[in-house]
Structure formats: structure tokens, C-alpha cells
Amino acid sequence: MIAPAEQALSYALEHPADAGAIEALLDHAFGPGRFVKSSERVREFARFRPDMSFCAWEGGRLVGSVRMWQVRVGDTPAVFLGPLAVQAAGRKFGVGGELVQMASAAAQAAGFPVLLVGDEPYFGRFGYSAAPCRGVVMPGPVDQRRVLALGADRLEGPVRA
């Protein structure tokens, strides 16, 4: 349990050895329904970017994870953020926000705009907006208002490998 006074958190790039703990966290956070989402279709064909994916640790326990995937939106190279998962006890301490900011900064430093499917009230505070995404076509059904981007004036076309 993360407590403010003992919040000995550390953040690090994801390593292959983290995969089991990340999958357990994702299962706990999203359940089996996560496999039917449009975002999961993206992850099926996109190239995983561990150099932009981060984990949050409390001691030796994983408390949060964000993953990034290289895609194209039409002809524009981009990265796709997700999934983002944080154990319930860590949510009120900003673990998710810190992970989003780290992953977004890594992508932008590499010259990529970032695309995601999420809630604009949450992601908007990090600069994400639905405005550049009106022409983005996700693989599968999605609420277009939840398709957000950072670092692009306009993205248009299908999301693909």
C-alpha cells in the first residue's frame, strides 16, 4: 500500500523481466475485457517501444506501468500510448500522471507525436487533445471523442504498422 509519508517510488524503463508483473497488473486493472478494445487491435500489429515504456515501483513491487507502440497514422510516424495501469492505492499519488509525462516526453524527444484512446479530462492536463484526431481511423469501433494526440496539429488516416 502506498502511503504519502512512505512513498518510496522509483521509475524505470520497462525491462523484459517485468512482463509477468505488468500482465498481472493489467489483468487486475482491466480484466479480460481489455482484449476486445480497439486499442488492443493496435497493440497486435504495432512494434513495442521499451525505450519509451516505463514502470513505477514501490520497493520491489510494481505499482504502475505505461507502454508505447510505434505506429503510423496515415503517412505520419507516431507512437501509441497504452495501456496505462496503476494499482488503486497509487492513483491518488499521481503515479499515472508521472508515467504519462515520462512516456510522452520520451516520444517527443524522439520526434514522435503521441496518440492514445482515453478521457480528455484526464489526459488534457498533459496537453492531449481530440482536436488533431478528427481524421484518425482506429482499427475497430471507438468513440472518436476519446482519440487524443499530443505533439501534432493534425493526424489523419488509418492507424497501422
At 30-76, the pLDDT tens digits run: 877 676 677 889 999 999 999 999 999 998 999 999 999 999 999 99
pLDDT band with cut points at 50, 70 and 90 for residue 7: low
d(CA 78, CA 22): 23
Residue 118, pLDDT > 60, answer: yes
d(CA 8, CA 14): 18
pLDDT at 115: 98
Burial class (CB in 10 A: 0-12, 13-18, 19+), 72: middle
Q: What element of type H or E holds 109?
A: helix 95-109
- Closest CA relative to residue 30, chosen from 65, 62, 56, 55: 65
d(CA 87, CA 62): 8
Cis amide leading into 132 (omega within 30): no
Residue 5, pLDDT > 70, answer: no
- Closest CA relative to residue 90, chosen from 116, 125, 68, 58: 58
Q: What element of type H or E holds 42?
A: helix 38-45
Specify the DSSP class assigned to residue 128: -
pLDDT tens, position by position, 149-159: 999 999 999 99
Residue-wise burial string across 123-132, b where 16 or more C-beta atoms lie within 10 A, e elsewhere: beeeebebeb
Average confidence score pLDDT of the chain: 92
R_g of the chain computed on alpha carbons: 15
pLDDT at 37: 75
Residue 145, pLDDT > 50, answer: yes
d(CA 80, CA 43): 8
